Structure 1
């Protein structure tokens, strides 16, 4: 799972910024593209993010020894799971099985209270509900113990309110996965009435929903009489009052699962979700599509929201040619004569631009290149591989219609469109010019070339996500955005 949310901060930019300061030069700092490829392959950003988060949260007195201890764990991705839900929804059964499967520590309110610590002893002198502050201290103390540190944990049934959830976050108890089981009230009440307990193991069974396979276990089951039906109904009502706040506190790591189905199905859904991991990758996005499909517009929208660098190959070549340096002087004659710039020169320009620190830190969106099989292969061999490819699909008729409605402002160089991006004023509108390459004849020829190479490009990028571009730009952007973090 790729965390490209606009609210996420990668650890790498801070490190690269330090390099920039140490460099002490006005020349653009270049980060070899192999670094990003290697970091993706070995999940380096995820490792650094986890280590920095742990340091900030735990604030150890000896950070070096602490980090060594972190790296020596058998697994750096130890589970941190919270399992929530109303009474009788099946939390205990799922949590117990899950902790066994993951070899994680199963933590419940009962196990917290029965702990032999001095803090737990304070709870023995009150018959009232535990204060939120004391409960948070108990949880923090338990999850900081060595077994939870080394194996991870599954926390069952707590927190019970948004206040508790936020208090836990403040002391560094931050789950990676939160599962919320749900079921209709009538199903929950029926399960409550038929609840059976194994006095030896504490496992929960039910006459209709979960029955033990072992006859010996079945013979020793006892009816659960720990709470009256009135108490259970009150607990259910309390949960219903708190569930919205709880959901909002964990919305970015939350999975709601319907528990009104066979237990095996519920458990498999929980296990599948908990086994997903959030890997932090600097986005390197490639937008493919015919002329008129909206690549430039969508790149601009992605760049504005997610702060990635918008790299339009055509504009980049013109910019390099305009700077008058050696490489630009080689490119200028091709632009003047309307001839394609050789791939070798294009790749030099792209390698220089995509290796700059802004692209390495914030990621990039490339469009306008590659256009054929050889260009795509050259891009792959140059280590400038994208880690997400989108293909904007559109018919030729719609492409021609769209392009015929666009024009360029000769003063600013900006491109406008009569429908999707109209000129901001009548003054700008009056000076707009239609480029020769936007004529119907030229566009038809370009489309023909694009269709010839489409299948070849797809062979290089078989995992490219196809997006229907024949809809309004906002809908296309939503479709792109929804797939940014997909597996």
Structure 2
């Protein structure tokens, strides 16, 4: 986990409501002792899915729409996050009592009089938190525009002419970490300005951990709302990779991104099955539908040889002799391809590898872990029918099948040729090889989907598509 994200996990728990909020209980992100909420009464907490509320990345040049996007609550979230209209229009006795308990003034009566004169209980006091690239700046800018409220970030604090700014700058120049107490005092000094008192404030990206949250509380800074943005790691990585910085101003001037797949997650799909079961066709249909990368292991080897790459030079002697290419060479070639940006961001569909248990285990060790595995089952008689009767026109390159797609003219039929691999003897050898290892592969991929491929290809495709969007099966 990113260090800032790990600190944020503690800050989330520090901000969580004590009664009933799921983050006030132990969870998988907890590290160390139990974390109990710092602010338990004054804050309303929103956990938003950054990827669903925003576009794929922050808007280029932070171009803002006329109004913020409609928020989407996560599944199971309570709609009680929105406060009733008019609830914050008058000074709240609870807020005044809270201030007395936190500040412990020497003259409590005078403190209460000053609090009532300020009449600022209705102004927004918002903290926006989230991991890097989760959209904190974009959301904060939207809110500032709508609420006419100043936005406070660590960067803007260093640009302010405050008494503590020079001290913070001195720490930065020495390359030292700025103490949490100093940050809290600097924020307290900024929030004591007239604009924050009268208009409220939006604090972006702070606190980052539990200690900073405690420091803010000790300084008397209690937000009314805490918004925590989150997004899948793949989305955050994509956004960070697409950032473009102006080297002269050090400002983010443009955000570039690859077009994401239309799938509900980044697909990493594996097709297994006997020869002739339709793996290539289904992979092509899936790749076209979801704009993901279609990886055929055999085609990958041929391309490496044709391009005369270093790996291609190693592969060519095996092609010429007819011997199988060693697994380590195939795995190296496959790993390099799947680690490219298009596969990392769009997803991929793989077929033709692995063919046995050892290859599957090597894939896992190399970090190639598909999140959807399909076994296309087809009877041997259907395999023989599909493969042994297909032929190719050497003049046009068009493929024909004696039963499903016969040649249109007698002269075309006369010149058709059969691939030597499609003889019945070779097909039987391939089938025997597949079924010899199929049981081990099915046992290894225990969360796989099994599909009857002996039906219309588009019926098979519809079933595969339904399996992509539904959760993985749980086997007892």
Q: Which bin holds the TM-score, normalised by the shorter protein?
A: 0.3 to 0.5
More helix by share: 1
Task: Flag the structure with more relative contact order, 1 or 2, with Cα contacts below 8 A and sequence separation at least 6.
Answer: 1
- Taking structure 2 as the reference length, the TM-score comes to 0.46
Larger radius of gyration: 2
